[in-house]
Chain A
């Protein structure tokens, strides 16, 4: 093993790759600029949309209730809704978002209310549509208040205490530290991005350094130099690993920075909506620990991508091999975000999923050192196997000269 030769190959591949616009874009530009765009951009749009929906005065329709002037009058005095004239095609207008909600007042509402007869008030809305939801909420709140007032009045008239209908209060209170609350919200998302970027960062150089060399005809040139094929593939592997780690590190730092900036920016816009989503503080210890578990995974990705794209005759062919691989990697990374999927001894051996799960825990402030050790060891075994395969493949003439 000659470190000098591996170093010469690595240095050349690094210079060569940094002069390639496509590599620079995927390795440096995308992680630096896409992450802030994603967090601030999407977050900002989301918060401003919710804010706008909350500010809107929803148009609602009152159906029936002509024999109950009392409730109609109270409704028309309701602030922050605008009452539109009654029409028979209210359902269609709600579906077409011309109005947000409609309320159906049963016949003889005022009289029945006074008499204490049971009845049902129906509110029509567009399920899942946020602005319709706000409209319906306001109508519901009005009727709930009306009901509560009626109950209180009835109790008073009969000289009964209010506690007869509400013997006790229920209240939930959070005791988890803020980073754990934030961890639950964003904990699944951050490792998912880091793992994905480790893969995408390695993808382009892996193809360029193998299939790209075949396509450009430089593979024969380099094979007739005295450097051994093992040194050659290890030098290339180091370059792919550099790209993978650089992409992950750059995106993590730019994400951390944009979270900080985004927090201040968004908190000014809409206090409530931004608060729970942005309640995330990633400590230096967490970043270092995530890096520790992600690193062997980056090694695994780099070697595996190198081995797979070595099979391809051309860049295009390599792309068609690697694109399905994205899905294979994304699936376990996404699975870690499913609530209830928690780390156990078996899952600690599943590549990608184990890293994703343990990273989620680390962001939430929990350090299972025994799991971290198992995951680091198992990922290292997979990584070593992938390197061995890549080195083996590089010795095979039918792979190097596939036509």
Chain B
């Protein structure tokens, strides 16, 4: 469960003072559902998701993630969240196994249970072939799998994906899309951000359109089509951000 309550994030700028990157965003996202945050570059998607993952602290407002308040218990929030973005790189000098093991240990798992967990993840994602290879020697697709294994190792109930497909080729992007669906089917709460309309159309149960830090429209695809009397999501998006 994710519940964002009037999230505000201001960044200080030398010339222009405090600028709101996210300006009063509220929404909720239930388990077994995929919530898509759609917006142009600089709209505030990454900042919103980083606040949900407690990487950034909100200037105002709060969010309840997995039952914990991001302001009050950020460490408990992180313990039940899996966060994946193209910016979350791997430690190049650790092997695929060590990378996942490190994060499992940081999540407080003891070694025998962690070993079993890693074995099952590596089997499922077919990663045993490059298990002991260093991360900086892996192909993009393999790195993607290590990242997925890293986010899954502690079996989080909430998954946050920040533009997970940026810069990936078709096959790697399909792997990610499949993974996002699997997460939903496993009953996890899933939120992901993108600026690619087709991904939203294919994957999302709920859509939020964010522009200049504000949530401009929200609803299922059907609801949005009805509300704006348009079929194509791209047309709806343009109508929302440029009324």
Contact = CB atoms under 8 A, between A and B. Distances in A.
A218 B94 CA distance: 12
Interface string B185-226: 000000000000000000000000000000000000000000
A243 to B, nearest CB: 15
B89 A218 contact: yes
Interface residues of A, number: 22
B128 to A, nearest CB: 21
Nearest to A231: B106
B83 interface: yes
Contacts of B57: 397
B90 to A, nearest CB: 7
B102 A224 contact: no
A397 B106 contact: no
Contacts of A15: 93-94, 98
B79 interface: yes
A226 B107 contact: yes
B45 interface: no
Interface string B21-46: 00000000000000000000000000
A226 B106 contact: yes
A227 B54 CA distance: 12
B108 A216 contact: no
A220 B55 contact: yes
Interface in B53-74: 53-57
A12 interface: yes
Interface in A1-25: 5, 8-9, 12, 15-16, 19-20
Interface in A171-227: 216-218, 220-221, 223-227
Contacts of A12: 91, 94, 98, 102
B108 A226 contact: yes
Interface in B73-99: 75-76, 78-79, 81, 83, 85, 87-94, 98
B103 A220 contact: no
B124 interface: no
Contacts of B85: 220
A228 interface: yes
A398 interface: yes
A224 B12 contact: no
Contacts of B89: 216-218, 220-221
B93 A8 contact: no
A398 B75 contact: no
A20 B81 CA distance: 31
Contacts of B75: 226, 228
B150 interface: yes
Given A8-B106, A12-B102, A225-B103, A19 B78 contact: no
B105 interface: yes
A12 B81 CA distance: 22
A224 B55 contact: yes
A17 to B, nearest CB: 8
A217 B147 CA distance: 13
Interface string B132-157: 00000000000000000010000000
B88 A220 contact: yes
A223 B55 contact: yes
B78 A397 contact: no
B56 A5 contact: no
Contact of B12 (A216, A220, A398): A398
A5 B89 CA distance: 21
Contacts of B103: 225
Contacts of A224: 53-55, 78, 81, 83, 88
Nearest to A13: B91
A223 B78 CA distance: 9
A216 B53 CA distance: 20
Contacts of A5: 106
A123 B229 CA distance: 109
Given A8-B106, A216-B89, A397-B57, A225 B78 contact: yes
Nearest to A217: B89
Contacts of A220: 55, 85, 87-89
Contacts of B108: 226
A16 B94 contact: yes
B90 A221 contact: yes
Given A12-B102, A217-B87, A224-B55, A19 B107 contact: no
Nearest to A395: B57
Contact of A16 (B54, B81, B87, B93): B93
Given A217-B88, A218-B88, A225-B107, 10 more contacts: A12-B91, A12-B102, A15-B98, A218-B90, A220-B87, A221-B88, A224-B54, A225-B103, A226-B78, A228-B75
29 contacts: A8-B105, A9-B106, A12-B94, A15-B93, A15-B94, A15-B98, A16-B94, A20-B93, A216-B89, A216-B92, A217-B87, A217-B89, A218-B88, A218-B89, A218-B91, A220-B55, A221-B88, A221-B89, A221-B90, A223-B55, A224-B53, A224-B78, A224-B81, A225-B103, A225-B106, A226-B108, A228-B75, A397-B56, A398-B12
Interface of A: 5, 8-9, 12, 15-16, 19-20, 216-218, 220-221, 223-228, 397-398, 401
Nearest 5 pairs of A and B residues by beta carbon: A217-B89, A224-B83, A221-B88, A226-B78, A226-B79
